[in-house]
Amino acid sequence: MAGWRGSRGRGDAASSEDRIASSQTVRLGKFQPQSLGYRTIFCNDRDANSHTKFKANSVSTTKYDIFTFLPKGLFEQFRRIANLYFLMISILSCTPVSPVSPITSVIPLTLVLLVSLIKEAWEDWKRFQNDLSINNSTVEVLHDWSWVPTSWKQLQVGDIIRVNQDGFFPADLIFLASTNPDGVCYVETANLDGETNLKIRKAPERTWDIVSPNKVSEFKGEINCEQPNNSLYTFNGNLIIDKQILPLSPNQLLLRGCSLRNTECIVGAVVFTGHETKVMMNSMKIPSKRSTLEKKLDKLILALFTVLFCMCLLGSIGSGIFINRKYYYLRFDRSQAQFDPDSRFVVAILTFFTLITLYSPIIPISLYVSVEMIKFIQSTQFINNDLRMYHAEKNTPALARTSNLNEELGQVEYIFSDKTGTLTRNLMEFFKCSIGGEVYGTGVSEIETGIAQRTGVEAETQSSATHEKGFNFDDARLIRGAWRNEPNPDCCKEFFRCLAICHTVLPEGDESPERIRYQAASPDEAALVVAAKNFGFFFFRRTPTRIFVRESHVDKMGKVQDVPYEILNVLEFNSTRKRQSVVCRYPDGRLVLYCKGADTVIYERLADGDPDLKRISREHLEQFGASGLRTLCLAYKNLKPDVYESWNEKYIHAKSALRDREKKLDEVAELIEKDLILIGCTAIEDKLQEGVPACIETLSRAGIKIWVLTGDKMETAINIAYACRLINNGMKQFVISSETEAVREVEDKGDQIELARYMKEMVKNELQSCHDEAQKYLHMESGPKLALLIDGKCLMYALDPSLRGMLLNFSLNCTAVVCCRVSPLQKAQVTSLVKKGANRITLGIGDGANDVSMIQAAHVGVGISGQEGMQAVMASDFSIAQFRFLTDLLLVHGRWSYSRICKVVTYFFYKNLTFTLTQFWFTFETGFSGQRFYDDWTQSLYNVIFTALPVIIIGLFDKDVSAALSKKYPELYKEGIRNAFFKWRIVLTWAFFAVYQSLILYYFVVASSKRAINSSGKLFGLWDVSTMAFTCVIVTVNLRLLMMCNTITRWHHISVGGSILFWFIFVFIYSGVPLPYKEQENIYFVIFVLMSTFYFYLTLILVPVAALFGDFVYMGVQRWFYPYDYQIIQEIHRHEADTSRIGLLEVGQSQLSPDEAHSYAVMQLPGQKSRHTGFAFDSPGYESFFASQAGVYVPQKAWDVARRASMRSKPKTPRTPRTPQRN
């Protein structure tokens, strides 16, 4: 078998000396020991590779297997403290000290665990099915001189495979050959990084012809490459064929999961398989995030544990005291340790455990399940389906990638935002340029328009510019060959050629200017190539070694010629170099290096001479930066053949290095990228996204502070910040910049230690000065808002442990912060500084791979599906298509989710405490013996059935104000920032009313039943009284839920009425139908006896009314004198009907206008036509601000002055609605 045979000739094996240069290890027969630094692979030789235990190509993404599912799944469930608690209760219920049946504790816990485990199993089964499908996919592998379909899981390192067009690569491959004559293929990496633009990959020239099975079978080679790692964009290796060393780079690597495009087929050698492929080594889970409210919920659960412990301790002490032989009629004796008067301590201990099982409902077993269900539905049905966050142009809806953080969206205080692609569109357009010291382009950018508006100058309107995607240029002097008449035509020609040649863009489609499409690594690069096309230098074809440009008007006007330029070297752009260079050979043999990059790195490498051009061009760069444009400098250099040949040898040597290849390539590039001649500079406009200024203004009114973290220049970032209304002329701006003369003087000395010392001292002094000055403004009654602008160099020193406290204290007092020239790591550091240092809720939003660390560092990460791929989206918690959708995401869904979850949690706390306390009061009348007050099953089903559905409904449909009013009055969002609805004061208030209601429910029922008799003339017994009390509890807690609702839909009626009705149905069946359950005899026929008396109906009406009367009075007083902001809005708009659905339900969508269709589609989302409830007391004293906003005149009333005087809070400011002071 030629493909899989394992025999290698001894002659080959003995040639170790010839392979030392590439292998740097000793050959031992067929087997070569693997170095720690790299691996050796024999192509087309499975036997030789078998000595090294390479990973199999099958992958598994499941969390469990058949053996680990149960232990690991249960471990995950019992990591929750509530589940662990109920496990303890279930164990205790199986002991003799338990007063309840074990089955009533075990079954609810089992059901909860079963539901959670089924959910885990289902999700893992889906992952398993996906793995199975992938592992069983087929690919053609060379076997016995032919291509044989083989499953992916059977692939081995060293196999030679063939992948056809549109197929996926089954492993990481070294690209050997393709059906394209130039040895290239086109790869789509959407599955890897979300980018849909095609990448070009080039096979080594030595292997271009091994496409047929015969030639592939004869191919023998050795690959020395790096060990598996998770770096997607780097690869070092060498391919050794017949003692010839061919360097391998990322351009020859085809990654698993990518797909082949525009190429009939390729041939490749497998280098990394299975979990050693780069994509699998990057498949780490997104950091697990828990919401702040969920963490506080854990504290509440611990508080309930404390309450439970105190109740049990009190009962156990009481039991030890109560046990006494004087109660001889109770027949205490030593036969039962729990009732032995001679062992009071043992009695107390046993009673303690008895009471733990008796009071166990105080911790709601269904709380976590209910909250998870609510959050899941909120995410999938409300956020994902909101048409207000649907972007029709991209066909992109909002997507909640996790449901854990819904309520966190309602408490965000700081937003950390990228600029490019987040605030701006990342749709780059060539706008202006400077060539040979002359500015071209007369258009007015958005930023210039904003500057003109700020200064009161009338901005010029743009005339008839040439418009194309990527090109928005207005200057006839350069169009249609007019550049030949300029004073510097040669400079213009070099400028255009640099644009057309110095890039890595791929052309697609027809080779005509109208139909060609460009696939570029970045929108900037595509815009520059489009600009060259419009200037008459049309790049239309690329091969691995040549670029073809259709040049117009070069030799003479109207002449068009296709010119091939041989590409000799490409020195690629990276974040360190900040430049890109191409060495090309003209058809006449002329060697030229074209270079484009940041002005800071290009100016450092310019040849001496022509200072005027450098000065004028720098002035132009500053003008472009002030206009918010993105700039690049262009330069070139003519090369002598001997100089180039000498340099190229060093370049080839560096490119073949296995260690520190990138570093060596950068060092070699420095040797040739010097003594450049400046051509000019380009200016590209990146326009603001639609609605960004209005969105930022609205979020600022909501109390949210926005920080912009960008890699752009400070001038560009400042003007973008002005354009989107993040900062304005009314703000006091503090600028901390390293671009000062003093810093440049220290830099020129070249002493890095002195520079670091000076920078740190300067930043410290600047921070201290800014902080002191800011304090003066903060103490002024009407001082200006503050804004901080700092660049990356200064930020690096400001984040030093000795200075970060000062930076944090100062920046927290600023309304806006702009950080320029910052790295991805610095973005994450700044986010973590506020998140951990100030303990504020943060949100990170971005659209590119450089924003991932910031997104993951924040409490909430939001990814924008933009032009830079999907890396940010894949790492985010929520994704949206436009920055402006943050308004709906935060002010509507976030605020609603926070309010709803707070109500759900506090209501759970209230209803369980109320129910458990009725049992607690009964304990005092039973000598603390642990006697049950309720039947086992009624107690167990209280949380699971009788009160479960209404709380889920309020968590889904409660709505204090409409979405429109939430955005009209963004100040309402401040209640979430202040955590107004989940403070300990709120919890204690609920606890107080739980105690109050439990006393009413227990003692009113017990006292009234002492003289009550049934139809037979008998007094009511224990189970009659307990059933009556339980019925009153069910009615009371369900009606209390209706009282706390802001909106009532039919779902509320169905859930509350259904829960009460279900209790009666259950008790009718449970007490009326004989069951093989001995404890049933306690309440057999009890409900029928009760309902045959007038006492039952009178008690069922009066007791809940008495229990809820205190809540009614409290809610009225609170709403009248100390209202929340949303209650003020309800009062203002209480007479406005919710007409969002009127007149639309019976209208066909085809008959609606776009706006009406949008409204109609939105109203189809889950929800019901609702009305506001909550005791609409008139409160005109609080309406002044909101009424003026709505244009409504509210007259003062006589009692307003008296009511204002009775308030503890300070008067409201006229600017924003704030809740009166709460303790």
Contact at 8 Å (CB) between 1083 and 1066? no
| Residue partners of 476: CB distance under 8 A and separation at least 6 | 482
Tell me the one-letter amino acid at 30: K
Q: What's the rounded Cα separation, in Å, for the pair 664 and 669?
A: 9
Cross-strand pairs, 567: 584
Contact at 8 Å (CB) between 880 and 864? yes
Classify strands 172-178 and 199-202 as parallel, antiparallel or unpaired: unpaired
Q: What's the rounded Cα separation, in Å, for the pair 189 and 233?
A: 12
CA dist list (Å): 1165 to 180, 381, 384, 884? 52, 7, 10, 21
Name residue, tokens 């213009």. Answer: 492
User: How many CB atoms lie under 10 A from the CB of residue 985?
Assistant: 11
Contact at 8 Å (CB) between 203 and 184? yes
- Tokens for 730? 């009314």
- Tokens for 213? 């099975």
Name residue, tokens 């005149």. Answer: 1193
Is residue 444 packed enough to be buried (19+ CB in 10 Å), middle (13-18) or exposed (0-12)?
A: middle
Q: What's the rounded Cα separation, in Å, for the pair 875 and 1129?
A: 38
**Could you give the angle at which helices 741-749 and 752-778 cross, rounded to 10 degrees?**
160
Tell me the one-letter amino acid at 221: G
User: How many CB atoms lie under 10 A from the CB of residue 735?
Assistant: 16
Considering Cα of 71, then 76, then 78, then 83, what sign does the dihedral take?
negative
Contact at 8 Å (CB) between 1133 and 1189? no
Name residue, tokens 């928005």. Answer: 472
Name residue, tokens 């489609």. Answer: 509
Q: Which of 1048, 1036, 902 is nearest to 374 (CA)?
A: 902
DSSP class of residue 252 equals G
Q: Which of 855, 1025, 1016, 825 is nearest to 925 (CA)?
A: 1025
Classify strands 172-178 and 184-188 as parallel, antiparallel or unpaired: unpaired
Identify whether 182 is a catalytic site residue.
no
Contact at 8 Å (CB) between 433 and 425? no
Q: Where are the beta strands (DSSP E) in 1142-1212?
A: none
Q: What's the rounded Cα separation, in Å, for the pair 544 and 242?
A: 24
| Residue partners of 883: CB distance under 8 A and separation at least 6 | 417, 422, 423, 689, 691, 692, 695, 845, 864
Q: What's the rounded Cα separation, in Å, for the pair 357 and 359?
A: 6
Q: What's the rounded Cα separation, in Å, for the pair 77 and 120?
A: 10
Q: What's the rounded Cα separation, in Å, for the pair 153 and 780?
A: 71
Catalytic residue among 159, 193, 418, 712: 418
Q: What's the rounded Cα separation, in Å, for the pair 417 and 860?
A: 12
Is residue 907 packed enough to be buried (19+ CB in 10 Å), middle (13-18) or exposed (0-12)?
A: buried
Contact at 8 Å (CB) between 484 and 555? no
Q: Which of 153, 148, 159 is nearest to 132 (CA)?
A: 153
Q: What's the rounded Cα separation, in Å, for the pair 680 and 682?
A: 7
3-class secondary structure, 540: strand
Cite the active site residues.
Answer: 418
